[in-house]
Every structure is written in C-alpha cells, then in structure tokens.
Amino acid sequence: MVTLGELFDELDYELEDMLDVLSQAIDLIEDGKVKEGVEVLKALEEDMFDFLDYVDVEEGEVDVILEEEAEDEKPAKAPKKAAKPAPKPAAKKAEKPKGKK
C-alpha cells in the first residue's frame, strides 16, 4: 500500500525534475542557444501534458470527444429510471375506501 507521504514525495521528485529541465532551457537561451532551449521547452511541455494526463486535440476533434462523452453518460442514466420499484398491488387495494363507488 502506498502512503500519502510517498505520493507527495513522488510528486515532489517529478516537479523538481521539471524545474531542472526548465532551468536548463533558460541557461541554453541565455547562452544564445535559442533553438536548443526551445526544443528543451517543447519536450518539457510534452512531459507536463503526460504528467497531467492531458491529450492534445484539434478544434474539430473537441466536438467529437464531447459528443462521445455525452453518449457515454446517457446509458448511465437509464438504470436510475428503472431502479424505482413499482407500487405493490396490495397497497392499491388498501387505498380504496370501502363502501363508496
């Protein structure tokens, strides 16, 4: 079992590693190696997307993803409607007043 402290340590390690890469990119840019610095920053961006579990999508793909998510949510709502129990026939008989039509 992983403890919360271990998870925070892992998170701390990942963030320190990203900070080191950022410092490396800044050093490259300050030394006049702009292209190399930009490449390091692009790699860091990809690493951060992976770390945050982001997915890079085009504008048209966003609509498709949203539609798929909406379709996935519809079946999840259907069982809630079916989960209501039907009234028992004995309960209906008890509600009718005797002697009145």
Give the whole-angstrom CA distance, residue 81 versus residue 29. Answer: 60
Distance (Å, whole) CA 12 – CA 15: 5
Q: What is the pLDDT of residue 89?
A: 54
pTM exceeds 0.85 for this model: no
pLDDT, residue 53, reads 84
Segments of the chain scoring below 50 in pLDDT: 91-92
pLDDT (tens digit per residue) in 45-68: 999 998 888 876 677 776 676 777
What's the confidence (pLDDT) of residue 55? 73
